[in-house]
Amino acid sequence: MANRFPLIVDTDDGNKLKEIPSGDNLDLNNSGIVNLTSLSLSGALSSATISSTGNATIGGNATVTGTLAVTGTSTLTGDVTAVGNIDVTGNLEAATITLAGSTLQTPVQSDWTEADTNSLAFIQNKPTTFAPDNLDDVGDVFVSDAAAGEVLTYDGFSWTGQAAAGGITLADFSVTTNPASGSGSLVYNNGTGVFTFTPPVIPTVVSDLVNDSGYTTLATVEAQGYLQAGDILNTGRITRSEAGGQVTIGFSETGLLTTVAVSGNISGDGTGGNPIILADTISLGVVNATDTGTASTFKDLTADNITASLSLSSTNGNFTTTNGNITATNGTITGNNLVASNEVQTSSIINAGSTITLNGSKVQIQNNHFGMGFSGTLPTPAAVGDIAHVGNGVQTYVSDIDGVGTPGWIGLGGTTSFGRGLQLPVYVGGARPSSPRIGEAIWDDDVPNLKIWDGADWLNIGP
């Protein structure tokens, strides 16, 4: 039978049966060809997967983008180029097989000992093994003629065998013992390796001991009146206990007074002995060193409160309180200097002398006012900065009252008994305040007239 074209149904021509036109394609979408004995192609065969249980012969080149599975014998006279996978369980013969990111899977197992380079079991990139039988087989070691007892030495380039030299052994040391002498000694000779030991002289009886200068003897200790445990009376408030060769002395404070009220005298020896320290208050009338009334001297007196009915004074010392107060309810606190790190609180300062000096930056009066006492005359002599209330006005002493450097008193306001009113600062020779403020007034003695600064210029007030 001659070759025929397949019959198709032409849906564009009334569903007529026709032979497939030349150049058209046979669409087998969702269909397949089974029981095909042979397949002859004059063009290219394109498929995601090609599977054949028989033999496949391709006269041209085979390009695999999916998977090429060969279970029989596949012979290609051209080349095989694969970007997919090639699974071979049979034979695959081709002029050239190129794997572009693909794998060639064969059932052949690699063999480390395979010597045939054409065998699939031959490992192409196995490393060369090296197992030296002798130390001389190592590249930079030359000991082929080594003798017994030699050691390896490095000359900067290679290792060679040389006879051992230098060093010491335990047999090279020795010890020489001398008769006992003095405090003894141990000397080493680094040239011969010999230790020379001279033991010290050790007394065999107590009589051989020598009491050198500065040694303590029992007679010396007894002469100083040393204290023994039996000398401590275990009576009254003093207690004594012994344990483990140690003596513990205790004192009972039960029943001791914390407040002492004295209406008479307390007599002391005046030597300034141990201080009197109580937690509460000591109220004393007169403290005498003797019955004659001579004042007593204390080395230290510490108490929460000290109340003196007459006076509490110190000739050359200081009264200091860290966190407390020094108060004189109806008396006077007299001293050279009054120093307070925080505050000095008082209702008034009377008869303080002619000058009160404050070294701070300012005087601040809160919730009240500052008052100046009246004076019938201006103070003399006066210093620059003095302020006085005289008559019905307040005046201050300045270094220049006329613009030419004459010091004197100027009025700050109010009528005064001296017949002067408010006095302005006087400027001459074209001088003016460097940074005037609005409303500031001066007397220009060059014109003369009164000037007031309006914020931009000096305004003339007057003729």
pLDDT in tens, 287-317: 554 455 555 555 566 666 677 666 777 777 7
Tokens standing for 287? 């403290």
Confidence tier at 178 by pLDDT (50, 70, 90): very high
Q: How far is CA 174 from the centre of its chain?
A: 57
In this predicted structure, the answer to whether residue 28 has a pLDDT above a threshold of 50 is: yes
Domain membership of residue 2 (yes or no) is: no
Confirm whether 111 is domain-assigned: yes
pLDDT value of residue 196? 95
Distance of alpha carbon 239 from alpha carbon 252, whole angstroms: 8
Domain span at residue 121 reads: 46-129
Tens of pLDDT, residue by residue over 197-233, are 999 988 776 666 666 666 777 777 777 777 777 778 7
> Rounded CA gap, 363 and 387, in Å?
15
Is 123 within the bounds of a domain? yes
Query: What's the confidence (pLDDT) of residue 104?
Result: 61
Instruction: Identify which has the larger pLDDT, 418 or 37.
Output: 37
Nearest to 254 by CA among 274, 277, 240, 238: 238
**What integer pLDDT is reported at residue 181 of this predicted model?**
92
Total domain count for the chain?
A: 1
Find tokens 């090639």 and name the residue.
86
**Of the candidates 230, 169, 215, 178, the residue with the CA atom closest to the CA atom of residue 199:** 178
Amino acid (one-letter) located at 101: G
Assess if residue 116 is contained within a domain: yes
Residue 270 pLDDT = 45
The pairing of strands 62-64 and 16-19 is unpaired
- Print the SS3 string covering 146-191: CCCCEEEEECCCCEEEEECCCCCCHHHCEEEECCCCCCCEEEEECC
Residue 70 lies inside a defined structural domain of this protein? yes
Q: pLDDT tens digits for 374-408?
A: 677 888 888 898 888 877 778 888 988 877 889 98
Give the residue-averaged pLDDT of 451-455: 90
Answer yes or no: is 57 within a domain.
yes
Mean pLDDT of the chain: 75
Looking at residue 287, what is its pLDDT? 58
Q: Is 64 a member of any domain? A: yes
In a domain, 104, yes or no: yes
pLDDT digits (tens, 9 = 90+) for 312-335: 777 777 777 777 777 777 777 777
Selected residue with higher pLDDT from 52 and 338? 338
Q: Round to the nearest angstrom and report the end-to-end CA distance of the chain.
A: 148
Reference 164, options 149, 145, 182, 177; nearest CA is 149
pLDDT at site 1: 39
Least confident of 248-257, 370-379, 410-419, 420-429: 410-419
The confidence band for 174, taking pLDDT boundaries of 50, 70 and 90, is: very high
